[in-house]
């Protein structure tokens, strides 16, 4: 996937943060960067296995679960 495609998908993320994150993911072995002559990024086998695990365990939140999570977050000492 090209950098510009990733940037469009993640609207609102600054160029600096996206670049830092992509470099970190590459350094951690989760994606590869190819620059011939267009820069593209692809998930490595390790990145794909992590993606599959997240996809298997993640489920869409209902509106009531989201509201409950927000109220609990506000009650916590972390905010």
Domains and CATH numbers, the chain: 3-59 (1.10.10.10)
**Could you say which residues of the chain have pLDDT below 50?**
78-79
- How many Cβ atoms sit within 10 Å of the Cβ of residue 18? 14
pLDDT value of residue 64: 64
pLDDT value of residue 68: 61
pLDDT value of residue 23: 94
Signed CA dihedral, 8, 46, 58, 69: sign only: negative
pLDDT value of residue 7: 92
pLDDT value of residue 27: 94
Query: What is the distance between the alpha carbons of residues 75 and 59, in angstroms, rounded to a whole number?
Result: 24
Q: Is 62 helix (H, G, I), strand (E, B) or coil?
A: coil
Query: What is the distance between the alpha carbons of residues 24 and 17, in angstroms, rounded to a whole number?
Result: 10
Count of alpha carbons within 13 Å of 58, Cβ hemisphere only? 7
């Amino acid at each position: 996937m090209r950098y510009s495609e990733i940037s469009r998908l993640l609207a609102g993320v600054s160029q600096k943060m996206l670049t830092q994150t992509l470099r970190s993911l590459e350094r951690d072995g989760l994606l590869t960067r190819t620059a011939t002559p267009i820069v593209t990024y692809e998930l490595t086998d390790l990145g794909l296995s992590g993606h599959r695990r997240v996809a298997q365990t993640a489920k869409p939140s209902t509106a009531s679960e989201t509201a409950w999570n927000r109220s609990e977050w506000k009650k916590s000492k972390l905010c």
